[in-house]
Homo-oligomer: A and B are copies of this chain.
Amino acid sequence: MPFQISAELRYTVFEQSTLLLNLHALETSNQTITDESFTVTQSATCEFSPLETGENRYVRLDTSGVSDLLINYDVTVATNPSVREVHAISHITLAMIEHEVLPYLFASRYCQSDRLGRLASKHFGHITHPLAQASAVSGWIFENIDYVSGSTDTGTSAEDTVTQRAGVCRDFAHLGIAFCRALCIPARYFTGYACEMQPPDFHACFEVCVGNEWFVFDPTRLSAPNVLVRIATGRDAADSSVVSIFGAVQLEWMSVSCTADSFLPMTPEEMTGKAILLEP
User: Which residues from chain A sit less than 8 Å from chain B, CB to CB?
Assistant: 18, 20, 45, 47, 49-50, 53, 58, 60, 62, 93-95, 99, 102-103, 105-109, 111-112, 114-116, 118-119, 122, 144, 146, 154-155, 159, 162-166, 184, 235, 238-239, 244, 246
Contacts and interface: CB of A to CB of B under 8 A. Distances in A.
Contacts of A107: 109, 238
A118 B118 CA distance: 21
A164 B238 CA distance: 18
B118 A164 contact: yes
State the number of copies, please.
4
Given A109-B108, A164-B115, A238-B114, A58 B122 contact: no
Given A18-B94, A107-B238, A118-B146, 4 more contacts: A20-B102, A58-B99, A103-B239, A115-B155
A116 B238 CA distance: 15
A102 B241 CA distance: 13
B108 A165 contact: no
A83 to B, nearest CB: 30
A164 B99 CA distance: 29
Contacts of A111: 109
The main secondary structure of chain A at its interface with chain B is mixed
What are the nearest 4 A-B pairs in CB distance? A118-B165, A18-B94, A107-B109, A106-B238
Contact of A95 (B18, B115, B155, B159): B18
B165 A122 contact: yes
A109 B108 CA distance: 4
A122 B144 CA distance: 8
A38 B7 CA distance: 53
B154 A119 contact: no
A114 B155 contact: yes
20 contacts: A18-B94, A20-B102, A50-B99, A60-B94, A62-B93, A62-B95, A94-B246, A103-B239, A105-B244, A106-B244, A107-B109, A107-B238, A108-B108, A109-B114, A114-B238, A116-B163, A118-B146, A118-B164, A118-B165, A119-B163
